[in-house]
Structure 1
Amino acid sequence: MLNCSGGWKVMRQISANDVWRSTASPGTIQPPMAVLDFAHLTWEEVRDLDRTKAVAILPVGAVEAHGPHLPLATDVIIAETMARAAAARLAARGHDVVLLPPLAYTAADFAAGFPGTVSLRPATVTALLVDLARSLARHGLRVLAVANAHLDPAHLAAIEAAAAQTRPDTGARIVFPDVTKKPWAQRLTEEFRSGACHAGRYETSIVMAACPELVRESLRRSLPPNPRSLSAAIRSGQATFEAAGGPRAYFGAPAEASADEGAHTIEILGGLLEEAVLAELAR
């Protein structure tokens, strides 16, 4: 779980109360519900959740190379910030929100050539997510929102497969806004939309906002831009960072990153996940 000494400094520890006070319409009387760390609850506290309004959020990332300046857990950090931003918004709307411990291991073959990267078979990831969703559903937590920050194509396909498998025979629902697709992607930064966004300005800015002490600043400032589009390389059939033109496992312009941009992006990501959950609940 997110444990950075500088974490959320820029975001001012935004809570459900903050969101509620800023968005409640005149005459609104319902206060925000709780945002709870699932692993810190007792079984009786889980039993007593309001299942009709409860949402579980699972941060999902990878342990993989993110340039010479960012930690291996970059995706996990981004996923947790996205999850907490969405949780505050959903709680302000009257939902009990439980934040699950993050899933930090997944399919990451694109970065497999770099020391420290850990990769699982996509089928393993799909099976894990399906089992997790079904297990939570047995206890009345039927909506599992995936706050995903890892964009390896095999990983995205594994989540999509899990979402499809939970629908036919169980009450479990996996909510997954794939930010690589419209309309989600068009609301993110210019670098993200360009496809040159692995450990570049986009991701580095978020880590600077959430866990600044984990950014190797002297290296970050010295890195030249790498304008090669990772998404274009994937479409052309490349299967590794090296083949895609990222010999140091970064794409984009990390030297241009800022904590202010990162804080703004976190808010956007939280809003995207909130919208996806609300759309699913309205079905």
Structure 2
Amino acid sequence: MSALPTLPLLWSDRTWEEIPGDLEAVAGAALLPIGATEQHGPHLGCGMDFVLADLLCRAVSARTRVPMLPALPYGCSLGHSRRWPGTIALDPVVMTELVRQIGSQAYHSGVRRLFLVNAHVTNAAPLRCALELLRAAHDDLMVALINTATVSERVRAAHFADAEDWHANRAETALMQAQAPALVREDRIVEADDPDRTHNLVFAHPVNRTSRNGVTGSPSQASAAEGAELFAWMVEDLTALVRRGLTETPPLPHSYDGPAVPMPGA
């Protein structure tokens, strides 16, 4: 038996002659990693979210042979305020339109199953809006929105272990220690812990009013070993989800634009 592929299938590396065959082999599927460029406390680089999305999708592409579109390095980070330098935020309307256009262009290249792999929490709302617009515009396009921190129950539990409203916390720090140590300032971790102040609040407050240093959680508890295990879970669980998606069909065949079919006896 031949060895399993170990390299991801990167859309940016493929030619226009190769992409149709790549897509045909995986039922028209493609991965779009989406992150953000934003402050991650005094101990993590600002690219943490898009670096994670990129690394995770590369690993999943290598296992599934689903082509991976170039990662989006910017996201909806307005809630991080301007208190700390480093955040480059998109407004949610711009982000919705950006992803809608990327998805529409990918559709015209043959994509029929688009996995939006999101590694930044507050991207969720504009990405859901983009999903709605893409489905309405392209009747035969299926779009999945997957948030990396909640891809499975074990992954979710690890992310939420030290804070419900986590950011730059134990899990994220451990992931970077294991997968991208150049983003980690080890000498700043020990004093970076900051508690979650959002419990029982009515309003959604920006980070400048909930954190002293841009962190929510306990990065001091992180370790590279923990991060390696968590990343392995994320790869395994996202791979399983993508593979399920490669064979999924809509429960009913009705067209988005077509007339309703009368029920028997109506």
TM category, shorter: 0.7 to 0.9
Length-normalised TM-score, structure 2: 0.81
Q: 1:180 to 1:47 in 2, by over 3 A?
A: closer
Partner in structure 2 of residue 257 of structure 1: 222
List alignment gaps of at least 5 residues for structure 2. 250-266
**CA apart distance, 1:123:** 1.3
Give 4+ residue runs of structure 1 displaced > 4 Å after superposition. Answer: none
* Matching residue within 40, 61, 66 for 1:87: 61
- 2:157 is equivalent to residue 184 of structure 1: no
Of 162, 177, 185, the match for 1:216: 185
Task: Note the alpha carbon deviations across 1:183-229, whole angstroms, 9 max, x for none.
Answer: 83554344525425211111011111111122111111x22532316
Counterpart of 2:72 in structure 1: which amino acid? L
Q: Name the counterpart of 2:263.
A: none
Q: Please, which of 36, 47, 51 is the counterpart of residue 20 of structure 2?
A: 47
Q: Which residue of 2 aligns with 1:73?
A: 47
Q: Could you report, residue by residue, the CA deviation over 1:222-243 in whole angstroms, capped at 9, with x for unpaired residues?
A: 225323165x47x631331121
Structure 1, unpaired ranges of 5+: 1-15, 21-31, 91-95
CA distance in structure 1 between the aligned counterparts of 2:228 and 2:176, rounded to whole angstroms: 9
Question: Does 1:204 find its partner at 2:173?
Answer: yes
The 1-side partners of 2:197 and 2:59 are apart by: 28
Aligned twin of 1:10:
none
8 A contact 1:77–1:210 mirrored in 2: no
**What is aligned with 2:112?**
142
Give me the whole-angstrom Cα distance separating, in 2, the residues matched to 1:83 and 1:191. Answer: 18
CA shift, 1:102, in A, is 0.8
Aligned residues: 243
The percent of aligned pairs where both chains have the same amino acid is: 28
C-alpha distance in 1 between matches for 2:164 and 2:66:
32
1:133/1:144 contact within 8 Å kept: yes
TM-score normalised to structure 1 length: 0.77
CA distance, structure 2, for counterparts of residue 51 and residue 33 of structure 1: 20
Shift of 1:124: 1.1
Q: Which deviates more, 69-78 or 81-90? A: 81-90
On the 8 A contact 2:8/2:60 being kept in 1, the answer is no
117, 124, 142: which one pairs with 2:94?
A: 124
SS at match of 2:132: helix
Cα distance change on mapping 1:173 and 1:128 into 2, 3 Å: farther
Give the CA deviation at 1:162. Answer: 1.2
- Displacement of 1:34 in angstroms is 6.9
Q: Give the structure 2 partner of residue 240 of structure 1.
A: 206
Does 1:269 pair with 2:234?
yes
| 1:160 to 1:33, Cα distance in 2 relative to 1, 3 A | same
- Give the secondary structure class of the aligned counterpart of 2:46: coil
Matched, 1:110 2:109: no
Structure-1 residue corresponding to 2:144? 175
**Alignment RMSD:** 2.5
